[in-house]
Each structure stands twice: as structure tokens, then as C-alpha cells.
Amino acid sequence: MFATAYKFIRFEKSKSTGILLGIIISIYLIGLELGIFFYLTTLIGGVINNAKPEYAQVFVVNKLTNNANILSPFDKRWVNQLRSIEGVDDTHGMVLSTVSVRFDNGESSPAVIIGSEYPELAAGPSEALLHTGSTNNLLLQGTVSTDFYDNKTFGYNIEQGTQFEISGKNVTVGATTKNAKGFSSPMIYTTDATARYYSGFSEDMVSTVIVTVKDESKIDHVIEQINAVAPDLRAWRSEKLNNATVINVMTANNMGMSFGTLVIFAIVSGFFIIGLTMYSATYDRIKDYGTLKAIGATSHYITLLVMTQSFIYAVLGFAVSLILLIVTKFGMAKAGLIISLSPQFLAFLFFVTLIIAVASSMFSIQKLKKVEPSSVFR
């Protein structure tokens, strides 16, 4: 079957090339669009994703908040009060505020400063994101962390030991991270005391309380208790607050619809381009298929033959698309845009490739079902 299918592909080199190009372009565009979309979702949920996972199981925020990037301050005393709830292992206050940074070359930029209590630094940056230096350096007064990929945004090459100004006050970089980024503004991490000093954030307030619940089976119970004792606040599982934040931002900016439209367009256009090209190739070889029927091939065999060709096209097209995506991934990584090509994501792309290729072959299959063996003699 595969040998026969390959012969049909080889005989129609120009049309086979067109079909492969259609698959390659469609899958490359789908993979690129979805890769960028998923990357943007990690940026949108950066406040949560950059937190230390060993501490940040639950986030307690203002009741009206469903976007972790926009937090309303509330009484700091809740940090200690929530610690007494059954099932809670620890609580950590977090400060988040917008500040202005300025460098000695005259460049300035808005940024978000995030602080939490030392030594845990539950709000982040997590150890997996560290590039140079250590979070222990953040204990020093006037010391913060910045992200390697935010250097372009700042217009300044920031390294460990670099000094600049936050709200007119000198600050030193004690650590740098890689991909601990935010969606709208660069993120600067430090202790809560340092964050308050540079942002003017009230000593009596916090932006959120990070609750540590080591026993995962107790998380839902803890959330229920917090929501019961603090009616003006709301406790979220970290992943649920992250999802709510992504939905809020995507809906507000219509980004989800934009990316969805582009992906659907790539699928539909690929389907018709591939389908019509395969139909044309089938039509050119109509006598060959008629010959097969004349010597005893059944309609089922012809259908499998066409679908086998589609499978070969799908495998070859996906392989080339994957190479292009890997090259693009490394190229974009240099600019700080990290596209993840996880096994699950690649499996999904291959599944989409098969669907497009096999579904496109239906045009040809319907045509071949009507072919009579006698057509070979016409």
C-alpha cells in the first residue's frame, strides 16, 4: 500500500510539491500563532507564574479582583490572621506597585516592582528563573532583580551590579532573571521593605496574601474558610487566578479572538488549498485509478490508497514544519520571545496535520468512487 501510494506521489512531482507546501505553510503558521499565544498567556499571568511554587498555592486578593496585574491594597493584618486558619502552613504578604526607572544614559521606563518577605520571597523570582546572582543578595537595602530580556525595553544593558534610579532613588541590581517578565511592563523583584521604600506603598497595606498549603488535599477547604472569615477578600487557587487573569486581559483586548481567527484561517485555507491540489492530481491520474479498479481493486482499497498518500504528505509536511518552528524558536528566543515546543503541543500539531491532510483527501475520494473500470479504455 505505502509503495503504491509513494509511486502516485512521485509521478505528480509538481502537484505533490504544492500539497507539501500547503501543509508546511499551514502547520507552520498554526504552530507559530499558538506558540506566541501561549507565550503571551505566561506573560499575562507573570505575577503568578514567577512566584515560588513551593509557597504560592493560594492567592488572597480583593474580592472584586479577577486580574492579578491589577491589585487593590487591603489591610496588612490579614497576613497574620489568615495564618491561624486550619490547614494553612504559612502566609506571605506581597507588595505590587508601578514605579518609574531611569538610567544614566537618560532612558526612562515604567516598571512594576514586586516585593515579599525575606527569606522566603514567596512572590518570586523563583530559583528556576535566576540567570545571575542570588536571591540572597536582595536582602541588602536598595537591591533588586531585573530580567535579562527587559534590557531592550529599558534601552539599557543591565547586569548584576548595575545601578540606576527608581522614583529618583538609587538602586543596585543584585540578581538577574531570564523570562521572569510581565505583560505590560518589566517586573522588578525585591523584598517587601525595599518595594515599599521605592514605591511609597503604605506600611499598613498589602496587595495580596500568598498562602502556603503544602497538603494539596486541603487547598479547597482552606479557600472555603478564608472566603468565610474574610468576606471582603477572595481566595483563589494559583492556577485559577492565573486563568481568570488571562481571560480578563484577552477579553479586554480581543487578543483571543485575533489569534483564534488567524489559526482558523490557516486551517481553512490549508484545507482547501491541499484538497483542491490533491483533487487536481487525482484527476490527472484518473485512468491509473481506473486501471486498478479494472484489475480488481475495490473502492475500499482506492480509499485507503488515497488516505495513505495523505498520511505520507502529513508526515513529510509536519517534519519540515517542525524544523522551521525549531529554527524560529531559537531566533525569537534571542529577542526574549520564548516559544515552547512541548511534546504535548507537538502531538497536537501532528494531529491537526493529519486532520487537514486526511480531510482534504475527501474531495479526491468522492471523485474516485464514481470512477468506472471502463474509463481506462476511453
Instruction: Place 264 in a pLDDT band, splitting at 50, 70 and 90.
Output: confident
In contact, 318 and 19? CB cutoff 8 Å: no
Adjacent-strand bridge partners of 139 = none
Higher pLDDT, 160 or 291: 160
Share of the chain above pLDDT 90, in %: 49
Range picked from 13-17, 66-70, 202-206, 342-346 for highest mean pLDDT: 202-206
Q: Lowest mean pLDDT: which of 16-25, 133-142, 270-279, 321-330?
A: 270-279
Gap between the Cα atoms of 190 and 185, Å rounded: 16
Residue type (1 letter), 180:
A
- Selection from 35-39, 265-269, 282-286, 358-362 with the highest mean pLDDT: 35-39
Percentage of the chain surpassing pLDDT 70?
87
Q: Tell me the C-alpha distance between 234 and 63, whole Å.
A: 5
Rg (CA), the chain: 28
Q: What residues does 212 pair with on adjacent strands?
A: 90
**pLDDT of 297:** 63
150/154 Cα distance (integer angstroms): 6
Three-state DSSP class for residue 57:
coil
SS (H, E, C) 266-305: HHHHHHHHHHHHHHHHHHHCHHHHHHHHHCCCCHHHHHHH
Length of the chain in terms of residues written: 378
If you write DSSP's letter for every residue of 127-183 in order, what string do you get?
GGGEEEE-GGGGGSTTEEEEEGGGHHHHTS---TT-EEEETTEEEEEEEEESS---S
Map grid coordinates 487591603 to a residue.
74
Quote the cell numbers at residue 116: 515579599
Enumerate the domain spans of the chain.
2-43+254-377, 50-252
The predicted-structure confidence for 121-139, as pLDDT tens digits, reads as follows 999 898 889 999 998 999 9
State how beta strands 208-212 and 58-62 pair. Answer: antiparallel
* 8 A C-beta contact, residue 186 and residue 22: no
Side chain identity at residue 228, one-letter code: A
Q: What is the pLDDT of residue 6?
A: 58
Question: Which of residues 180 and 296 earns the better pLDDT score?
Answer: 180
3-class DSSP state of 206: strand
Q: Which residue has the cell 526607572?
A: 101
